[in-house]
Amino acid sequence: MKVPFPDAVPGPDQLGRVHLVGIGGAGLSAIARLMAQQGVSVSGSDAADTDVVRALRSEGITVHVGHAAEHVAGVDTVIVSTAVREDNPEVVAARAAGARLWPRSAGLRSVMSGRRTVAVAGTHGKTTTTAMLTCALVGAGAEPSFAIGAEVASLGTNARLGAGHLLVAEADESDGAFLHYEPAVAVVTNVDADHLDVWGTEEAYAAAFDEFVGTVAELLVVSSDDPGAAALVAVGRARGLDVVTTGIDPTRDLDHPDHDLRARDVRVVDGATTFLVDGMGLSGLPVQLAVPGAHYAQDALLALAVGLRLGHPPDALVAGLATYGGARRRMERLGAVDGVTVYDSYAHHPTEIRADLAAARSLAGDGRLVVVYQPHLVSRTRRYGAEMGQALSSADRVVVADLYLAREDPDPAVTAALVVDAVHGPPASAGGPVESVHVALLPELGDGDLVLTLGAGDVTTVGPRILEGLRTREAPGA
């Protein structure tokens, strides 16, 4: 459901009792944690009793499984996920009682009160860049507050109230939320048309990022490797912002005119990424990341540029970056059984799929790369289905599950076949419902295979089913 952004957003201390509908999601759980850590009386509800829900309870937050009107009795402010429907009983009861009803973006804006905000936006890489920047600032002793779109292993959470004056926040463009934050500092990783069910056209999507830059007060950092982000340089400078550009320099030209901070000699070996950094007073600064993929070097450069511009020492920032070991559902290693290793990732756009498959290929080595992909949203699959299939073509075996509909109704003309038919090279097939994809795939898997599950829906359940199936299947010849 779409809830209008309020005319005024008071700080958490003025919200009274707060209840979050859909509290188990990455966005609302972060807001709940930050509010609770500021002494706000917080409760919430979610459809399932997940790991996140149980973790919130362990932190002293009351969380109900299921939705009921009595959960919002006496509540002053109700914050809702975009996935919540208008007829949700807690929403209906909150409206009837005259409670303050807010979208997720207003809740995040509230916890920003009194802090200098660094907002990380972009079509791809927001979560990783936000997490890397947080790790870098923690390494530099800045003690930032943060709100990240996934659990980060090295931080132990997706949100925490820090003692410092900075708040680092992932700024989501999918529903226009990022237009409400008015950050002091902004990062744009890239601009690659998505969420056209909301924005309508690629031009409108790009224009939203122009508008976002118009809300920034001081500093804009962009990856000028990406044409969409590079186009924002002129927008930022026209507004009088301090603009810093970053990028990977394949020519090793230390005077590259398009990058203020540059990476060279990028190498992906043994599950790690290394590179050297030049610019902004640095020459050949070595960086090592504990995650594999050249695209992670781009994310780390953005984080390093922000930290340097904020005055932190490069060695401390690099040490902080080295602690980043990945975020949940971002090339997350789930386990290995019988010589088969399973990873899971959130990638659902062709650009993200290509990047994750390149990283997975480096991990697989001489082994097979087997990909299970679940298209997310009818509108996205209608627009990008063929490109998704082309991006998946670098795997050795592809299985495409039925679409995850999320907030949209099904369309008989938009199915997994749009993706499967565009895969060229490896064997590809439609896998049907995500709950049973593993059944047909298990007999194919053998020693040395790397299985990667991809998508923004419930495909994340496939990896654990594969691992369990590998544990229990009969040995060959038994």
Task: Give yes or no for a contact between 371 and 399, defined as CB atoms under 8 angstroms apart.
Answer: yes
What stretch of H or E contains 386?
A: helix 378-392
Query: Is residue 1 included in any domain, yes or no?
Result: no
Residue 296 scores a pLDDT above 70: yes
Other Cβ atoms less than 10 A from the Cβ of 283: the count is 9
pLDDT band at 332 (very low <50, low <70, confident <90, very high): confident
Q: Taking residues 206-219, report their average pLDDT.
A: 95
Query: How far apart, in whole angstroms, are the C-alpha atoms of residue 302 and residue 229?
Result: 12
DSSP string, 332-380: EEEEEETTEEEEEE---SHHHHHHHHHHHHHHHTTS-EEEEE--B-HHH
Range in 7-21, 84-98, 185-199, 422-436 with the lowest mean pLDDT: 185-199
Q: Is 182 a catalytic residue?
A: no
Range in 6-15, 23-32, 409-418, 440-449 with the lowest mean pLDDT: 409-418
Residue 141 scores a pLDDT above 70: yes
Query: Are both 290 and 242 inside the same structural domain?
Result: yes
Non-local (6+) Cβ contacts of 214 within 8 A are 235, 239
Query: Are both 36 and 141 inside the same structural domain?
Result: no
Which CA distances in Å does 408 have to 124, 205, 381, 417?
22, 19, 12, 18
Is this prediction's pTM over 0.85? no
Other Cβ atoms less than 10 A from the Cβ of 417: the count is 13
Task: Give yes or no for a contact between 23 and 44, defined as CB atoms under 8 angstroms apart.
Answer: yes
Residue 276: per-residue pLDDT: 96
Mean pLDDT score across all residues of the chain: 90
What residues make up the domain containing 298? 114-322
Query: Is residue 32 included in any domain, yes or no?
Result: yes
Query: Are both 314 and 340 inside the same structural domain?
Result: no
Query: Are both 203 and 350 inside the same structural domain?
Result: no
Among 170, 173, 332, 352, the one annotated catalytic: 170
Query: Is residue 4 included in any domain, yes or no?
Result: no
pLDDT band at 285 (very low <50, low <70, confident <90, very high): very high
Among 77, 117, 123, 126, the one annotated catalytic: 126
Q: Taking residues 39-44, report their average pLDDT.
A: 97
Query: Is residue 355 included in any domain, yes or no?
Result: yes
Looking up residue 372, the CATH number of its domain turns out to be 3.90.190.20
Residue 352: per-residue pLDDT: 85
Among 77, 123, 127, 453, the one annotated catalytic: 127
Q: Mark which of 104, 135, 159 sits at the end of a domain.
A: 104
Give the whole-number percent of the chain exceeding pLDDT 70: 95
Residue 362: per-residue pLDDT: 81
pLDDT digits (tens, 9 = 90+) for 221-247: 999 989 999 999 999 999 999 999 999
Query: How far apart, in whole angstroms, are the C-alpha atoms of residue 208 and residue 199?
Result: 9
Q: How many structural domains compose the chain?
A: 3
Q: Mark which of 59, 80, 104 sits at the end of a domain.
A: 104
Query: Are both 337 and 240 inside the same structural domain?
Result: no
Residue 253: per-residue pLDDT: 45
Q: Is 381 a catalytic residue?
A: no
Residue 255 scores a pLDDT above 50: no
Query: Are both 292 and 370 inside the same structural domain?
Result: no
Q: Mark which of 104, 133, 164 sits at the end of a domain.
A: 104
Query: Are both 355 and 412 inside the same structural domain?
Result: yes
Q: In what order do the strands lie in the sheet with 185-188?
A: 157-160, 145-152, 166-170, 116-121, 185-188, 219-223, 242-248, 261-269, 272-279, 282-289
Query: Are both 93 and 118 inside the same structural domain?
Result: no
Other Cβ atoms less than 10 A from the Cβ of 221: the count is 31
Query: Is residue 401 included in any domain, yes or no?
Result: yes
Query: Is residue 109 included in any domain, yes or no?
Result: no
Query: Is residue 196 included in any domain, yes or no?
Result: yes
Q: Is 126 a catalytic residue?
A: yes
Query: Are both 131 and 267 inside the same structural domain?
Result: yes
pLDDT band at 349 (very low <50, low <70, confident <90, very high): confident
Query: Are both 371 and 225 inside the same structural domain?
Result: no
Other Cβ atoms less than 10 A from the Cβ of 409: the count is 6
Query: Is residue 327 included in any domain, yes or no?
Result: no
Range in 206-210, 340-344, 355-359 with the lowest mean pLDDT: 355-359
Residue 327: per-residue pLDDT: 66
pLDDT digits (tens, 9 = 90+) for 298-323: 999 999 999 999 999 999 999 999 99
Residue 478 scores a pLDDT above 70: no
Which CA distances in Å does 438 have to 210, 375, 432, 469?
43, 16, 10, 8
Query: Are both 263 and 378 inside the same structural domain?
Result: no
Q: Taking residues 112-133, report their average pLDDT.
A: 94
Looking up residue 132, the CATH number of its domain turns out to be 3.40.1190.10
Looking up residue 51, the CATH number of its domain turns out to be 3.40.50.720
Residue 161 scores a pLDDT above 90: yes
- Does residue 414 or residue 121 have the better pLDDT? 121
Residue 2: per-residue pLDDT: 83
pLDDT digits (tens, 9 = 90+) for 363-422: 888 899 999 999 988 888 888 889 899 999 999 999 999 988 877 778 888 888 989 999
pLDDT band at 456 (very low <50, low <70, confident <90, very high): confident
Task: Give yes or no for a contact between 19 and 102, defined as CB atoms under 8 angstroms apart.
Answer: no
- Does residue 356 or residue 60 have the better pLDDT? 60
Residue 38 scores a pLDDT above 90: yes
Query: Are both 60 and 191 inside the same structural domain?
Result: no
Residue 252: per-residue pLDDT: 46
